[in-house]
Amino acid sequence: MVNLKVKLGALELNNPVTVASGTYGFGLEYADFYDPGKLGAIFTKGITFKPRHGNPPPRLWETPSGILNSIGLENPGVEAFVNEYLPRVKGLGTAIIPNISGSTVEEYCQVAEHLNGKEGIAALEVNISCPNVKEGGMAFGSCPNVAANVVKEVKKVTNLPLIVKLSPNVTDIAAVARAVEEQGADALSLINTLLGMAIDIRTQRPALGNIMGGLSGPAVKPVAVRMVWQASQAVKIPIVGMGGINSWQDAVEFMLAGAHAVCIGTGNFAKPMVAVEVIEGIERYCKERNISNVTELTGRAWK
């Protein structure tokens, strides 16, 4: 038997395989394919205080090895999340982790405060890294001081563990990781999407309505592995690694680089069953190597 349980601070997950914010809706969309309770956790679509319509279409564009998206945090707002979605997902048998965003530090705090004490929420993922919203998101994650300040203020209004989601659109990921750890982040998740763009040669115009968007999928994996490697060596708090995970082999690679858990995003779109395959594959990999505890994989490549 392989013990697949992993800890993200005080939060214990049944296994290290989770699904990424924005690629798994509010937790019910894949239930026709498999029991979402098999997952280590579900990171739900990003929510803001008020509902958002998101960016003008087109909002998705396929590239040779990934996708560009500029959804712009379309969501029904925190009130609707609590009233309409949370009651349906909280009984799924896995940790539910809402992903929260804001245009100002105050808005992050309003969302966090609203979710504090609501039954069925295991932790909050604080998105300081969205490249698709004009006035915020990535701006909070690009500078260590600003990132640290969001964490400091959100910590004041919630008792929930905070998993802070970092942007890859920075020169020194370790500096941002250390800054948010110092302010009490319980864990980090990385990476969010890489800023990119495409031109549609038929119209001779930018392919996305918002012109630029976030690149995800296999194309970003080497960047993500490098950043997980750097961030996990810079901090003591656990890391949830993501970016282009499409198979159990990819997931093992992230854990060897220093991730305690992994998140599957774009991979869900192409292979709806991928998360279950990844859980089974990691277990097999450990068994074949007489690894009794999956946590032994974390950071093994450092040695």
Ligand X SMILES: Cc1cc2nc3c(=O)[nH]c(=O)nc-3n(C[C@H](O)[C@H](O)[C@H](O)COP(=O)(O)O)c2cc1C
- Please name which of 68, 48, 50 lies closest in space to residue 59, comparing C-alpha atoms: 68
**Catalytic residue check, 143:** no
> Does 18 participate in binding ligand X (rule CB under 6 A)?
no
* Site track for ligand X across 119-158, x = CB under 6 A: --------x--x----------------------------
Q: How many CB atoms lie within 10 A of CB 85?
A: 20
Min. distance of Cβ 233 from ligand X in angstroms? 21
- Assess 238 for contact with ligand X (CB under 6 A): no
- Count of residues touching ligand X (by CB under 6 A): 27
CB of 216 to ligand X, least distance (A): 3
Q: List, in order, residues 6 or more apart from 14 with CB less than 8 Å away.
A: 4, 5, 40, 94
Q: Which CB atom, from 3 or from 63, has the smaller least distance to ligand X?
A: 63
Distance in Å, CB of 167 to ligand X, minimum:
9
Tell me if 181 sits within 8 A of 237, measured CB to CB: yes
* Integer Cα distance of 270 and 137 in angstroms: 27
Residue number with CB closer to ligand X (11 or 208)? 208
Please tell me whether residue 52 binds ligand X under the rule CB under 6 A: no
Q: Are 166 and 191 in contact (CB under 8 A)?
A: yes
User: In the numeric block, which tokens belong to residue 48?
Assistant: 């803001």
Selected range binding ligand X among 34-42, 180-188, 216-224, 271-279, rule: CB under 6 A: 216-224
* 118: its two tokens: 């609501």
Helix spans in 62-133 (H): 78-80, 86-89, 105-115
Residues 6+ apart with CB under 8 A from 106: none
Exactly one of 15, 18, 23, 110 binds ligand X (CB under 6 A); that residue is 23
In our burial notation (b when 16+ CB lie closer than 10 A, e otherwise), range 209-238 reads ebeebbbbbbbbbebbbebbbbbbebbebb
Residue closer to ligand X by CB (options 2, 250) is 250
- Binding status of residue 265 toward ligand X by CB under 6 A: yes
Counting every residue written for the chain, the total comes to 303
d(CA 211, CA 57): 10
Query: Does 21 participate in binding ligand X (rule CB under 6 A)?
Result: yes
Nearer to ligand X, 216 or 298 (CB): 216
| Binding status of residue 167 toward ligand X by CB under 6 A | no
Residues that bind ligand X (CB under 6 A): 20-23, 45-46, 67, 69, 71, 73, 99, 127, 130, 165, 192-193, 216-217, 220, 242-245, 264-267
Residues with active-site annotation: 130
